[in-house]
Structure 1
Amino acid sequence: MKIVVTGASGYVGQNIVPILRDQCDKLILVGRSPDKLGKIFPDLECCTLEELSSVAHGFDRLVHLAVLNNNMKGTEAEFHKVNAELTYQTARVAEACEIKTFYNISSVHVLDEQNQSLYAKSKRAAVELLEDLESIEIINIYLPFVRGAEWIGKLAFLCNLPSFVAKPVESCLLALKPSVKMERIADFILQPQSDQNFVILSEGQTQNLAYRIIKRGLDLLFAVAVIGLLWWALLIIWALVRFGSQGPGIFAQERVGRYGTTFTCYKFRTMQQGTVQAGTHEVSQASVTPIGRFLRGTKLDELPQVWNILKNEISLIGPRPGLPVQKDLFASRQAWGVFDIKPGISGLAQVNDIDMSNPDKLARWDARYLALQSLVLDVKIILATVRGGGQGDKVK
């Protein structure tokens, strides 16, 4: 494996280069100042972008880390020149060198279209420019908080704590935001690639005990609060549904949950009795009852699922559970690893107006939540839901 790395003098570069150096046949570093790079990595070959064509023809990978970050000063034009134009220029040089794969490294903040920082806007512009290249494989990698071998900055104090104290504190801190280890990034770069050109690298939260405990605690607190404080509202809604149209007040339906197993999901009935068992997008508007339209718009129809929360079948936040008959959605979610987590009453896809009418797109957004899962994100989704986001799948 022969690899080129740009921007190796930054934090990620200085930590990932030693890992790559030990596992590849040849490694070349590219920068505006090869002498500066040479002082950091005296045992590696360094050159400018203009010199790359003469030393890296036919290499396997180019990892592009050169960037102007938000913590750096610059105008919008300067950010665009470095983060968009230089990225595109570097990819063109790599293409001319017949390098097989170009890795465009960005922060996950770029994925948030509402993030209008100079960094995010310029990195999104780079992705658009790279779409014009056809003779080189482009893989856009999005990274959350990157963890090196040791904690640095404000978290450096963790290195001096006893292990039995540091580990729980680390787990709690990592529960707040997604993170990825340097080794994980290096392993991805070194391994054979699939046909995915969009990748979020993250450790996730499935192995974080602190996150699981806190999330479960919040789920139970929500369920108990709904039952204890809103029992009277539940009775009123049940009565309105039960006597507003023919059929039961509570609708029980088989759904696909964690690990692909089925469970019985409970909701206030919003459809006419006898409506076909299918995805909501396949059901006509006429099937929705008058009270059902209001309940779906306010998500009050989901409140009976507090029983599913108590049974640990569902969470407050997670991918919405699909029906067993939705085979395409099941296959897409299985391929993206979405079934590794519990489904939820509301989710990232829903508050971004992604419903079950496009199974693969929904599964990709569910996978995005799996990668970016954190307590901060869960709170943001809850607030977005309260403000009216995720108002249920759209009917046909």
Structure 2
Amino acid sequence: MTPQDPNVTTSLRVIPRDQHSVSRKDISPNALRVLYRLREGGFGAFLVGGAVRDALVGGHPKDFDVATDATPEQVRALFRNCRLIGRRFRLAHVVFGREIIEVATFRANIDDGSGDRETHEGGRVLRDNVFGSIEDDAVRRDFTANALYYAIEDFSIRDYVGGFEDVQNRLMRLIGDPETRYREDPVRMLRAVRLAAKLDFEIEAATAAPIPMLAPLLAESAPARLFEECLKLFLSGHAVASFERLERHGLLSALLPETAAALASNRSGALRRMLLAGLAGTDQRVANDEPVSPAFLFALLLWPAYCRSLMALQARGMHTAEAQRRAADQVTVHQLQRIALPRRFSLPMQEIWLLQSRFSQRQRKRVFRLLSHPRFRAAYDFLLLRLTASNEHAADVEFWREAQLESGDALSARLEAEAHGDGDTDDAAPRKRRRRRRSGSAVAAGE
């Protein structure tokens, strides 16, 4: 059977079980249940996409997608624990507790009038529910490495577009004309970078060539979708590789425009060193199965933009505290036009930035207030990162490291001794004025 897309030719290659490394031991038992049930129901049943790709390169698949010639309604009839979702892509979700096996009907690229397909005038796909054959389905997938089908009937792999060879050669190659495919869905450019970073693949030359020119198309993508793609780029354990590939392929300025501009103008490279050090720490935390807050991630990613905005406002003569607040707001508002950063992350991100200026303060009241701040630990960790850009924060890091280890009484006594012993009139004078205006009990309580 020939595919409907005339621009892509297919040639079936069957890789028998003894010639590939995908094993049922690598596949979720629930995914196997779905595959066998579909097969018993008289339908074709294939594990497809990332699970097959990852198993071939020695990874450990976590998500298992199934492709079939059964319609969504037929899938629902086979599984009581099934729900149908989606408008752009109608899918069946078979639910096993916390695990969901996604089942998609084979789709075609071209609508003969019997299906449900809608495209934007620029070529972007808005709705795609045109069903077809397995050959059609292979052609409409994005990358050849994602168009491999593991057949439950004989445990072979079906390859229609050369994906098996590309996986062996560690190449990300788009199926079809790259420019057309990117215009259909600009987020494919980010997926190419993310998957190449994750798998340590290279992006094939023709697939990479149009990316710098088409990168501005990302502005047409839904900001909420770009936020989710950012989390996948930077919180999957390959943040450094993802960032470097975004730079290499001209995508950083489309995704984080103000950060890209700030890094380009930072001649010393200090901001980039700090950013990469922070992303390396993120990768290490993911590897150790430790949590990473999106608020901290975006505080890191947008810090160069914040610093650049702050310097510009101060150069205009704005008071430091006001400039800090204004810079935080400006950077956040501008970035929200591209990436929908939820307030539950953007507000803590701004707090991390604004707390940085308070680490140089040594007045007892302010020290204790900062230690009790709910964002103190994140802000302190951020201060540690700043050491990779400049040693000027070394004394602050040491002070606050010790402050966290001391008891309240010991810290209070040390602050008193340092204030008087240093002859620091800037700290001592305000303390004397407070004592004249306020009761001694308030000072003793550390307020």
Q: TM-score range by the shorter chain?
A: under 0.3
State the structure with more CA Rg: 2
The answer to which structure has the higher helix fraction is 2
TM-score by length of 2: 0.22
Q: Which protein has the bigger strand share?
A: 1
